[in-house]
Structure 1
Amino acid sequence: MLLTENENHINYQRIEEAIQYLEKNFQRQPELDEIAEKVHLSPFHFQRIFTEWAGISPKRFLQFLTVDFLKTKLEQSRNLVEAAEAAGLSSQSRVYDLFTTLEGVTPQEYKLHGTGIHVRYGLHETPFGICLLGTTERGICWLSFLATDEDPKTQIEAMKEHWHNSVFHQDQTLTATFVERIFNPVASSQTGRLHVFVKGTNFQLKVWEALLKIPMGNVLTYQGIAEKIQNPNALQAVGSAVGSNHIAYLIPCHRVIRKDGILGEYRWDPVRKKSIIGWEMAKVKQP
């Protein structure tokens, strides 16, 4: 059962506050005591919860979010994706650590706006705050993050609007198993692939499939995605498709950044995007 005062949720809010404070004061490199005071924790407690969350210290974490580092990462990511594609489709899952497959609704289902589809959903804690997850027999069909103090009904209504002729049932037990697999890459790799079931245009599906090929801990530009779908002039359309993704994190639209190394906007809050990218990079760097 979801608890509004869950300790994990409170900890993530403090981590977000710390990341924002570190960024604003990056030039003068604030000490741990100062950051901890800002988020109303003792230095020891703050260091502990941040290290448990990210696996590294706050200062090292912030290094992953600097413009210079991200520019270098863009080049590395582009080369990695190209090398994987040259190796052939059969080896992609191993190279990308890819455990997600994508299926789109049929044209007839698209016209019917979800008629005949049964969606089971639940609200759960994640490393990035509370999420709403919806799933059908054909795969996960919705994943969104709640803003701080947001009424869950807002996200539930957004999900129902997207699949508005479907039948909805809350099922915390079922959705909890998916949340564990999504945010625990080891668990996911040991239990087979996750499937996502999406409603979108053919162009959007091409973009979302390209997003699935960005390895964890890496980033690409909007231009890079446009080139991957062989439509290099469709930057604005690519940006729109990335922004309309309705399965957060699992279809990793957070891994798309601007070519100047700026992380840019994110449907579920730009600070959360920074948190996710830094967290993923930290996990990949761990032995």
Structure 2
Amino acid sequence: MKDKKRGKVYIVGAGPGNIGLITLKSKECIEDADVIIYDYLANKEILSYARPDAEQIFMGKHGGGPVITQDKINRIMAAMAKKGKTVVRLKGGDPFIFGRGGEEAEFLADRGIPFEIVPGVTAGISIPAYAGIPLTHRNYSSTIAFITGHEDPLKEKSSIAWNKIATGVDTIVIFMGITTLPSIVTNLIKNGRTPDTPVAVIQWGSTNIQKTVTGTLKNIAAKVKAEGIRPPGIIVIGEVVKLRKKLMWFEGMNDLNPRILYTIYKTGIHGKKILIAATPKGICRIHFGKESSFIKELKADFHGTVIQRNDRYFSQIISDLENYFRGSATNFTAKIDLQGTTFQKKVWRALLKIPYGKTVSYKEIAEMIGQPGASRAIGTACGKNPIPIIIPCHRIISSDGSLGGYSGGLDIKKTLLGIEKNSARQDA
């Protein structure tokens, strides 16, 4: 595969997320690459096929992080090839289906840089299949349309002919449409699609954290918001969605093997790392200690559950944390799954009511929950807070004004209070 005289770029489809759906050709390219430039949607497990000496360059961050421009990606890709490197540009799904692979190939062609396209299993077909939704069916669908929900923002106007698509296509599959779902629904109904048309929204399709929400055009946007569904996801619209009840196979199989997912996030504050874990219901742990003790604690608390690292699942909460540490966010959007006694949960919910940038005493929390003599028990409950930062026990101080304790250490507590104080002062 490798041209020793000249560098070459392989624009490679990584498939929808499940490592078993990568093609043999894609795997071969990764194994031979000198440089791998990969996107957020490309499963990082696939990089295990890379040579130990291969350079790996991450070119895409999800949810509020720094944006890598397409021009910068193009130039890095070309520069590596000009050095005689074999470059793999690894992209989620298929590079020529709403993946900007065509634009990258044009950039290379215009500069005379050799390239090859390696198709991947597109998310638009595979993810509905993993949700038990066939895109065609004799009784329901003879036509399909693949649409992007995220057009070029520099376009003067949309090129999507909603007036034709709304009633002219049986099954509509939308990529990158979760954030624009309300406007998509409005356009379809306005142009004649019945509000009772079945819809499925599939998040993280084909992976072990796949989640599907179903409804109709008239209620799907509200359901998706209520369930906290965020990108990435595929939207399927049409009568074929009805078949999911009978044909659902993958998510039901996963339910037999419950998992606790976790990640490790380096905060940049005092060199501290935060370990974050989640159940299917939401974030259940934030831990300042070592990974080994964290895993041991999870196994003890969630006996019989598979503990598995999955960094991609936590992109939104990490984005929220980064914004919080920068002083640009005052709350968190992630769902939480509180595990504790009735009293502890009562205390923790009271902590959530403490305003950003403010501090209260243990005594004040005791009075807030209607148990004025329980200050000592309040302190114990704060010490057992499973989700510090999100549940802001750092805002609790002693009646004499001293900081009291904190599971992450007093240096972290001082820093968190300082961030909030400075941010609140700037907003005043």
TM-score bin, normalised by smaller chain:
0.5 to 0.7
Q: Secondary structure at the match of 1:200?
A: coil
Q: Secondary structure at the match of 1:196?
A: coil
In the TM superposition, residue 120 of structure 1 has moved relative to its aligned partner by: 0.8
Q: RCO greater where, 1 or 2, for CA within 8 Å and sep 6 or more?
A: 1
Q: Which residue of 1 aligns with 2:287?
A: 144
Q: Which residue of 2 aligns with 1:280?
A: 420
> Counterparts of 2:330 and 2:426 in 1: how far apart (Å)?
18
In the TM superposition, residue 145 of structure 1 has moved relative to its aligned partner by: 1.6
In the TM superposition, residue 188 of structure 1 has moved relative to its aligned partner by: 7.9
In the TM superposition, residue 268 of structure 1 has moved relative to its aligned partner by: 1.6
Q: Secondary structure at the match of 1:154?
A: helix
In the TM superposition, residue 117 of structure 1 has moved relative to its aligned partner by: 4.3
Q: Which residue of 1 aligns with 2:409?
A: 269
Q: Which residue of 2 aligns with 1:245?
A: 385
Amino acid at match of 1:203: F
Q: Deviations over 1:227-256 (max 9, x none)?
A: 010000111111111111111110111110
Ranges of 4+ aligned residues in structure 1 off by more than 4 Å: 185-189
In the TM superposition, residue 177 of structure 1 has moved relative to its aligned partner by: 2.7
> Counterparts of 2:373 and 2:330 in 1: how far apart (Å)?
36
Contact 2:317 2:333 in 1 (8 A): no
Amino acid at match of 1:178: I
Q: 1:217 to 1:161 in 2, by over 3 A?
A: same
Q: Which residue of 2 aligns with 1:120?
A: 261
> Counterparts of 2:426 and 2:400 in 1: how far apart (Å)?
27
In the TM superposition, residue 118 of structure 1 has moved relative to its aligned partner by: 2.0
Q: Which residue of 2 aligns with 1:25?
A: none
Of 132, 140, 148, which aligns to 2:275?
Answer: 132
Amino acid at match of 1:204: Q
> Counterparts of 1:181 and 1:279 in 2: how far apart (Å)?
14
Is 1:179 paired with 2:318?
A: yes
Q: 1:116 to 1:270 in 2, by over 3 A?
A: farther
The within-5 A match list for 1:63-142 is: 117-128=258-269, 129-142=272-285
Q: 1:262 to 1:138 in 2, by over 3 A?
A: same
In the TM superposition, residue 279 of structure 1 has moved relative to its aligned partner by: 1.5
Q: Which residue of 1 aligns with 2:337?
A: 197
> Counterparts of 1:240 and 1:263 in 2: how far apart (Å)?
15
> Counterparts of 1:187 and 1:239 in 2: how far apart (Å)?
27
Amino acid at match of 2:336: V
In the TM superposition, residue 137 of structure 1 has moved relative to its aligned partner by: 1.8
5+ residue gaps, structure 2: 1-43, 45-227, 229-255
The total of aligned residue pairs comes to 169
> Which structure is higher in helix share?
1
In the TM superposition, residue 134 of structure 1 has moved relative to its aligned partner by: 0.6
Of 336, 341, 360, which aligns to 1:220?
Answer: 360
In the TM superposition, residue 214 of structure 1 has moved relative to its aligned partner by: 0.6
Amino acid at match of 1:226: A
Q: 1:257 to 1:187 in 2, by over 3 A?
A: closer
Q: Secondary structure at the match of 1:184?
A: helix
In the TM superposition, residue 286 of structure 1 has moved relative to its aligned partner by: 2.0
In the TM superposition, residue 210 of structure 1 has moved relative to its aligned partner by: 0.3
Structure 2 length normalisation: TM-score? Answer: 0.37
Q: Secondary structure at the match of 2:336?
A: strand
Q: 1:117 to 1:258 in 2, by over 3 A?
A: farther
Q: Which residue of 2 aligns with 1:260?
A: 400
Amino acid at match of 2:277: G
> Counterparts of 1:155 and 1:206 in 2: how far apart (Å)?
24
Compare CA radii of gyration and give the structure with the larger one: 2
5+ residue gaps, structure 1: 2-100, 102-114
> Counterparts of 1:283 and 1:268 in 2: how far apart (Å)?
21
> Counterparts of 2:406 and 2:336 in 1: how far apart (Å)?
20
Structure 1 length normalisation: TM-score? Answer: 0.54
Q: 1:272 to 1:176 in 2, by over 3 A?
A: same
The within-5 A match list for 1:15-30 is: none
Q: 1:180 to 1:227 in 2, by over 3 A?
A: same
Contact 1:127 1:183 in 2 (8 A): no
Q: Secondary structure at the match of 1:174?
A: helix
In the TM superposition, residue 143 of structure 1 has moved relative to its aligned partner by: 0.7
Q: 1:164 to 1:281 in 2, by over 3 A?
A: farther
